[in-house]
Amino acid sequence: MPSQGSGNFERGYIIPIGGCENSISPQVAEKLRSICLNASAKAVVLNICDQPLEHKLSNQLLENGFDECDIQSINNRQQANNPLILQHLAGVDLIVLVGQRPLQVSTIIGGTPIAKQIRKLNADGTHVVGTFGAAALLSEHMIAGGQEATIPKQDGVTMAPGLGLTNRFMVDYHFKQQGRLGRLLTALSYNPFTIGVGIDDGTALFISPNDDLEVFGNGAATLIDPSNLQYSSMGSAGSGDPISLFGLQMHILAQGARFKAGEKKAYDEHWA
Amino acid sequence: MPSQGSGNFERGYIIPIGGCENSISPQVAEKLRSICLNASAKAVVLNICDQPLEHKLSNQLLENGFDECDIQSINNRQQANNPLILQHLAGVDLIVLVGQRPLQVSTIIGGTPIAKQIRKLNADGTHVVGTFGAAALLSEHMIAGGQEATIPKQDGVTMAPGLGLTNRFMVDYHFKQQGRLGRLLTALSYNPFTIGVGIDDGTALFISPNDDLEVFGNGAATLIDPSNLQYSSMGSAGSGDPISLFGLQMHILAQGARFKAGEKKAYDEHWA
């Protein structure tokens, strides 16, 4: 479950972003600045993979109103366990996690002081972005891999514990390009308590402290609400079998569309 | 709209089958025989494309209890307009339409006596299969092509008038392999009065005379019911824009799962 933090502050935004690891769209960068309420905004980019990160992403943040943007690479667990790395998180308004694959990020930072600190800071108000493979990481239950297919199958997804900032939403990324609806549906059908969201490249979800989700960017989000699921054959399906799922609710959310997790309701400026 | 026929008989089954043009699964062949109530069952395969058809499909029907199975190729409109072709439809219980692409089939037989006769025979009780590209053809409003994507876009689908055996269901094929959810959603959002069904290769829909749909085969069907659509941004979207759609109902139907079009309800032997 998400960290309880100090209990004195509102949770920060949780922001999964689909797509390229080293750039975001200007409208997303602008929105990131707008949720940082301090007059002077400070960001840190944590590059959790074995590739060096270009400065494009941090430059975009600086161009869109951030006053400082530090970049740190964390390539292995030794670095993630080094207490010095925590200094880079002091006083930041926004933490951006960049990773290529969800399991790569989770195996590097899982259980380390930096992971604990990110959870605590988010609970106390710091906003956390996960982009590319780190977009999936933000959820409590993480989609780590699986088949690229439209229909759910008994063993169609690989799940793993994520960073656990939210258990209201489970995110999959690269959604449009790779036909990943089937693995998201498989994951949801295992235990249909959470909301599934697939995000296209170039698309960001801004999940507010009260779990209202807003979509920004040039793609769309495919949101699956299984809370009224009437029937699933998952419990009796054999390995590799396609499964039946009756009564899923689906919302397609393009730029500006929102979803209130509390009321399970989609809306936007034209429809409330 | 579907042909009214003579009004003396119940409509035949309408059976879109996803996948390979020259073979069907044994369970589908067996079900095809079971819906032909005559002691002696006669089928005709109409191969509506520019490729010769192997005898595999007709052999499968003969092996599964059909007593006769004629194969006829219709490669162009001259052949489709030749009154002699109608003789092959006389007294058949099952017509199997084979085509590679929906528009290829519709441009060859659209408006010809053979198309009219198939519509009339189906209204009077003859069952009609459309396989491969001809699966989409059976609907009133046909998905002829479009973008392969998960999300709907303003111009993400090419629609065309189909053979028009049913206006309750709109079918897309090659669904699992090619990520076609977006174009089906686009088509539904244009006018959300019909039920959209995407079928995997190796999967058949048996749509009964009273519009109960049953899934047979080793894949699954993705059924989208837009009848409770709460909001669509389609009317105001620009060319190529992703669109928002709130309140779609989705059912994944594997082997044996059914959907009653009248009640808009999914069910199977384990859940009714």
Q: What residues of B are in contact with residue A243 (Cβ under 8 Å)?
A: 220, 252, 254
Say what the ipTM of the complex is. Answer: 0.83
Taking CA–CA distances from B216, the nearest residue in chain A reads: A242
Contact assignment for B245 to A255 by CB distance below 8 Å: no
Sign of the torsion formed by the C-alpha atoms of B180, B182, B187 and B192: positive
Q: Find, among B10, B26, B28, the residue nearest to B215 by Cα.
A: B28
Picking from A247-251, B67-71, B199-203, which range would have the lowest pLDDT averaged per residue? B199-203
Taking CA–CA distances from A226, the nearest residue in chain B reads: B250
Q: What residues of A are in contact with residue B219 (Cβ under 8 Å)?
A: 151, 242
Picking from B95-99, B212-216, B238-242, which range would have the lowest pLDDT averaged per residue? B238-242
Does the global pTM surpass 0.80? yes
**pLDDT value at residue A1:** 73
**Distance, CA of B219 to CA of B201 (rounded, Å):** 7
Interface probe for A, chosen from B27, B154, B176 (most Cβ of A below 10 Å), is B176
Q: What residues of A are in contact with residue B246 (Cβ under 8 Å)?
A: 251-253, 257, 266-267, 271
Nearest to A219 among B198, B242, B271 (CB): B242
Check residues B179 and B100 and name the one with the higher pLDDT. B100
| For residues B245-267, average pLDDT | 95
Could you tell me the two tokens for A218?
Answer: 């040039």
Q: What residues of A are in contact with residue B266 (Cβ under 8 Å)?
A: 230-231, 244, 246-247
Could you tell me the two tokens for B213?
Answer: 């749909």
Q: What residues of B are in contact with residue A201 (Cβ under 8 Å)?
A: none
A243 — contact with chain B (CB < 8 Å)?
yes
Q: What residues of B are in contact with residue A237 (Cβ under 8 Å)?
A: 254
**pLDDT means over runs of 10, chain A (272 residues):** 81 92 85 94 92 84 96 93 94 95 92 95 97 94 86 88 95 82 91 93 95 94 94 88 94 96 93 81
Q: Find, among A113, A106, A132, the residue nearest to A45 by Cα.
A: A132
Which domains can be identified in chain B, with CATH numbers? Answer: 14-267 (3.40.50.880)
**pLDDT value at residue A99:** 92
Tell me how many residue pairs between chain A and chain B have CB atoms under 8 A apart: 153
Q: Find, among A259, A272, A271, A198, the residue nearest to A18 by Cα.
A: A198
**pLDDT value at residue A156:** 87
For helices A26-35 and A56-63, what crossing angle results, to 10°?
60
**Distance, CA of B146 to CA of B150 (rounded, Å):** 12
Q: Chain centroid to CA A87: how far?
A: 24
**pLDDT value at residue B31:** 95
Nearest to B254 among A181, A242, A248 (CB): A242
Interface of B with A in 152-211 (CB under 8 A): 152, 175-176, 178-182, 185, 198, 200
**Distance, CA of A203 to CA of A219 (rounded, Å):** 5
Q: How far is CA B265 from CA A118, B196, B230, in A?
A: 45, 14, 19
- CA torsion angle for A87, A91, A94, A100 (degrees, to 10)? 0
**pLDDT value at residue A55:** 82
A234 — contact with chain B (CB < 8 Å)?
no
Contact assignment for B233 to A175 by CB distance below 8 Å: no
**Distance, CA of A140 to CA of A16 (rounded, Å):** 13
Whats the size of chain B, residue-wise? Answer: 272
Taking CA–CA distances from B249, the nearest residue in chain A reads: A249
β-sheet bridge partners, residue A46: A72, A97
Q: What residues of A are in contact with residue B152 (Cβ under 8 Å)?
A: 220, 252
**pLDDT value at residue B21:** 64
Quickly tell me which residue has 């007294």 as its tokens: B91
Q: Chain centroid to CA A70: how far?
A: 21
B230 — contact with chain A (CB < 8 Å)?
yes
Give the count of beta carbons closer than 10 Å to the beta carbon of residue A10.
Answer: 12
Q: What residues of B are in contact with residue A204 (Cβ under 8 Å)?
A: none
Instruction: Give how far A69 is from chain B: nearest CA, Å.
Output: 32
Taking CA–CA distances from A228, the nearest residue in chain B reads: B249
A147 — contact with chain B (CB < 8 Å)?
no
Q: What residues of B are in contact with residue A183 (Cβ under 8 Å)?
A: none
**pLDDT value at residue B70:** 94
Contact assignment for A252 to B236 by CB distance below 8 Å: no
Each residue of B127-182: pLDDT tens digit? 999 998 899 999 999 999 888 877 888 888 999 999 999 999 999 988 876 778 99
CB of B220 closer than 8 Å to CB of B18 = no
Nearest to B266 among A149, A246, A266 (CB): A246
- CA torsion angle for B69, B204, B182, A242 (degrees, to 10)? -150
Give the count of beta carbons closer than 10 Å to the beta carbon of residue A7.
Answer: 7
Listed in sequence order, the residues at least 6 apart from A183 whose beta carbon sits closer than 8 Å to its beta carbon are: A143, A146, A147, A148, A149, A152, A156, A157, A172
Contact assignment for A244 to B236 by CB distance below 8 Å: no
**pLDDT value at residue A21:** 64
